Structure 1
Amino acid sequence: MFSPSRDDVRLFFCTTYRKLHERLPLDGAEVLAATVIEQHPELHALLADREAAQQAGAGTGAAQPFLHLSLHLAIAEQLSIDQPPGIRALHGKLCARLDAHDAEHRLIDCLAETIWQAQRDGSAPDGEAYLERLRRSASA
């Protein structure tokens, strides 16, 4: 299983931002990441400065912009393959009431809670609990 380090993740987003900004070709996951980056102009200055990016949130308890971008990327990937099955339809249901970015944030909240629960319990993420969170979020 691929398990990038904190620095790998930050470098990936910074490199993708640079390629996007310089209009260079994007490869693989960079295409999805570029969409996420474009949705977050408030992070562009950070992404343009690799040194600042490596220190972002370090030891401050501040929001983790790279965690946020990574969760967006995870949701984009899940939507692209409809995995877990039905997530795309639930996203569509949310988009009927919210703009697509806000709908993704609702899905991110469900994913983050599922990951947090697994870490707290020292277990694998519970797919059924995740789907139930997604369903509740789409119905709320």
Structure 2
Amino acid sequence: MFNPSRDQVRRFFFDVWAKYRAGLPLEGAEQPALEAVLMHPEYHALLDQPDSHTERDYLPESGETNPFLHLSLHLAITEQLSVDQPPGIRQRYERLLKRVGNVMDAQHDVMDCLAEMIWQVQHNQAAFDSAAYLHCLDRKLGDT
């Protein structure tokens, strides 16, 4: 299983942005990564300065959002949707998309649930609970 380091993840996003800016072709996961980056113009200047941001820490206690984690979660959601894993996520996402009207807001709703599940896994040292994840999405849809 691929488990990139913090630096590898950051380098990936810096490289995707640099390739896009240079008009170079993107491959594999680079295209959905670019789509996430394009939804977040607030990150473009940061991605133009890899030397200044490769080592920076983003502390939630200081109210900071880690842009690389945020973009990685968009990428994870895109992958989950492409394979409908856990089963039923695609259908829930499509309903969220219809409700909110745009990809970014729908993905951010899913991201809220995904981030909560990741926190639960880390906090409880337990396996990822797909049923709880889908239940969280159902709550966002008003189904529970």
TM above 0.5: yes
Q: Distance in 2 between matches of 1:23 and 1:139?
A: 43
Aligned residues: 140
Q: Offset of 1:96 from its aligned partner?
A: 1.6
Q: Distance in 1 between matches of 2:141 and 2:8?
A: 33
Identity %: 49
Please identify, of 115-124 and 94-103, the stretch whose mean Cα deviation from structure 2 is larger.
94-103
Q: Offset of 1:53 from its aligned partner?
A: 2.2
User: What TM-score does the superposition give when structure 1 sets the normalisation length?
Assistant: 0.93
Which of 91, 116, 119 matches 1:113? 116
Q: Offset of 1:55 from its aligned partner?
A: 3.2
Other-structure match for 1:73 = 75
Deviations 1:64-115 (A, max 9, x none): 1111000011011111111111111111111122122101000000000000
Other-structure match for 2:29 = 29
Other-structure match for 1:47 = 47
Q: Which runs of 5+ in 2 are unaligned?
A: none
Q: Distance in 1 between matches of 2:109 and 2:4?
A: 25
- Structure 1 contact 56–64 (Cα < 8 Å) conserved: no
Q: Offset of 1:58 from its aligned partner?
A: 4.5
Q: Offset of 1:30 from its aligned partner?
A: 0.4
- Structure 2 contact 19–25 (Cα < 8 Å) conserved: yes
Q: Which amino acid aligns with 1:108?
A: M
User: What TM-score does the superposition give when structure 2 sets the normalisation length?
Assistant: 0.90
Other-structure match for 1:135 = 138
User: CA RMSD, aligned part only?
Assistant: 1.5
